[in-house]
Amino acid sequence: MNDHLKLDIEVPANMAGRRLDQAAAELIPDYSRARLQSWIKGGQLTLNGATAKPKDKLFGGEQLSLRAELEVQGSWIAQPLDLEILYEDESLIVVNKPAGLVVHPAAGNPDGTLLNGLLHHCPSQEKIPRAGIVHRLDKDTSGLMVVAKTLPAQVHLVDQLKQRTVSRQYDALVQGYITKAGRVEAPIGRHRQNRLKMTVLDFGGKEAITHYQVRQRYRAQTLLRCKLETGRTHQIRVHMAHIRHPLVGDPLYGGRAKLPAEATGELIQALQSFPRQALHAAELALIHPSSGEKMHWCAPMPADMLALLDLLDRDQVE
């Protein structure tokens, strides 16, 4: 990745009257408006060779000059982790994250996260905000994540997430018997009493839409394929609990396991002790930030979910 940025652009006449930061965001779309504002304030992005303010008005015909060097974005440390990388090129990395791996350092998990492993795998990630991470999976959700390797790729992918051109599909094993496909549209926000939880809110929540299809019905559980239209924290977990079909094993939203009548002791034990929410990010599709090509990846269901499904399959025929 080139850490030294050099760019000269003439402001077109039709941008007369616009703020400098607004015009810069249109003329230099590879970088976020917040970063461009930072460069304007720091003097790396100049107007006619002089420092300016983001809110300065333009007349048209001015010369914008960008001379910037990407800086280290955090104090994280690189750590060797056994990452399962399904795809990598100069713009992005696609990782199959195992259950139990935290994505980003936080108070309870200062290191040993996916971010620390990415910095070891590709040290230049330290120059990108959040080491290129553009979306997250919960610690105990497995599956596919895309990571940007350059600032332009990160801006492009974040915009795709906003425009909903990134397709994310999940395998979810839920409690109860679901007969047909459906759609949950219910706004999500932080739970007012339990700050660890998210919940459906009548007022003040963010728009959240989940589509689901039935892949396999069992006697007291259903395997769904869920597709996110939005990407809120805990979205599938909250939406499935909201329609009274929480995920098997979910410690926050799951409640008591539903048990098939006269189930074997092995199946009862497996359902009651499944150690995480039975959720796996199985498919990811997006538009490549550099080539514009549509790309698609699949990650097979992990062993713990496959073993539980095998027990449920056997329960169907016994």
Task: Pick the closest to residue 154 from 162, 69, 208, 8 (CA basis).
Answer: 162
Rounded distance between C-alpha atoms, residue 104 and residue 130, angstroms: 8
Residues 240, 243, 248: CA angle, nearest 5 degrees: 40
Rounded distance between C-alpha atoms, residue 150 and residue 138, angstroms: 24
138 carries an active-site annotation:
yes
Q: Active-site residue among 82, 89, 138, 313? A: 138
Task: Pick the closest to residue 231 from 158, 155, 147, 140 (CA basis).
Answer: 158
Per the rule left: phi > 0, alpha: psi between -120 and 50, beta: everything else, 234 is left
Residue 303 · residue 106 · CB < 8 Å? no
Burial of residue 120 (number of CB atoms within 10 Å: 0-12, 13-18, 19+):
middle
57: Cα separation from own chain's centroid: 36
Tokens of 64: 């914008």
Rounded distance between C-alpha atoms, residue 9 and residue 258, angstroms: 63
**Residue carrying the six token digits 């599956």:** 143
Residues 142, 146, 147: CA angle, nearest 5 degrees: 120
By DSSP bridging, strand 63-69 and strand 45-47 are: antiparallel
Question: Which residues are known to be catalytic?
Answer: 138
